[in-house]
């Protein structure tokens, strides 16, 4: 069974099991570009354990180190509950 869902000028075909329904089905299309924020604006890592953020002012993008703001590098940081750590550039 397939259902066509109209999305603007595009059409997506969704295959469902026999007797299936599209109710509750989530479809993610396209890309998401996070514009990022400064490290100072995301708050303390202790307030956001387990969360990730795109940061635009890292001083370095070396994976695994404690993130420091005030630079010109963009990267992903992760809160380990006590510090924001650089994950990737």
Quick one: pLDDT at residue 33?
73
Mention every residue, 6+ apart, whose C-beta is less than 8 A from residue 36: 53, 54, 55, 56, 74
Statement: residue 1 has pLDDT above 60 = no
Whether the predicted model's global pTM rises above the 0.85 cut: no
Average pLDDT of every residue of the chain? 80
What is the per-residue pLDDT across 30-58, written as a single tens digit (0 to 9) for each?
A: 666 788 999 999 999 999 999 999 999 99
For residue 65, give every residue at least 6 positions away whose Cβ sits within 8 Å of its Cβ, in sequence order, or none.
Answer: 85, 86
Render pLDDT for 69-79 as a digit per residue (tens, 0 to 9).
999 999 999 99
**What pLDDT is recorded for position 49?**
95
């Amino acid at each position: 069974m397939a259902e066509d869902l109209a999305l603007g000028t595009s059409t997506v075909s969704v295959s469902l099991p026999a007797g299936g329904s599209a109710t509750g089905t989530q479809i993610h299309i396209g890309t998401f570009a996070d514009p990022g924020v400064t490290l100072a604006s995301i708050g303390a890592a202790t307030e956001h354990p387990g969360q990730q953020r795109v940061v635009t002012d890292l001083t370095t993008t070396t994976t695994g180190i404690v993130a420091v703001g005030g630079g010109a590098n963009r990267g992903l940081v992760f809160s380990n509950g006590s510090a924001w750590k650089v994950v990737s550039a």
